[in-house]
A = this chain, B = another copy of it.
Amino acid sequence: MTQRNKGILTVVSGFSGAGKGTIMKELMKKYSEQYALSVSATTRAPRCGETDGVEYFFKSREEFEQMIADEALIEYAQYVGNYYGTPKAYVEEQLNAGKDVILEIEIQGALKVKKRFPDTLLLFVTPPSADELKKRLIGRGTETMDVIESRLARALEEAEGIEEYDYLVNNDVLDECVEEVHELIQNEHYRVSRNIEAINTMRDELKGFKR
């Protein structure tokens, strides 16, 4: 009796180097009909090869601040002097069309989204082990001790708030990881709290039938 109506809003976060970008790319390729990837807005300048509306929506500072004033962003933050944020209109449009929408943002932004949309699914991508994470953070042994320390500090920061997340996704074998993310999101459609309407309809039909 489950109904497929509205899409599921999912935030994917995780440690740098955990492979979030690759997972998302594969998911979109494999199940393009089902998902929509949210594109962030930013005030930073486009880099070589970046296209407006693909990697980011590139905005002037004035345009971005107008979006803030208009409450046109689900969440936003400043990072190294630039604004980054998630435009609301696109997300709502896609959800209403039944697409599952994915935002790839860090924990602080994720928790803001969750506060505004409490039925957001929060996934956190990790490498298979602490050792593997260390290896990826250290790189090929060419990094200075300063760089290593700042990456380790960042990894610890990136895990701040992880307890608020719903699921950990282990990125060991990419294909399996993509399937796992797909399953976790698709299973959300069967959550009782997302099917209250269908349940009440069934109850009414059973009652109506009795008379």
Contacts and interface: CB of A to CB of B under 8 A. Distances in A.
Interface in A169-211: 169-170, 180, 183-184, 187, 190-193, 195-196, 198-199, 201-203, 205-207, 209-210
A119 to B, nearest CB: 13
Interface residues of A, number: 46
A193 B124 CA distance: 12
Contacts of A180: 187, 190
A133 B196 CA distance: 17
A104 to B, nearest CB: 18
Interface stretch (A47-55, A57-65, A94-102, A147-155): A147-155
Contacts of A192: 124, 162-168
B1 A130 contact: yes
Contact of A130 (B166, B184, B196, B202): B202
A130 B210 contact: no
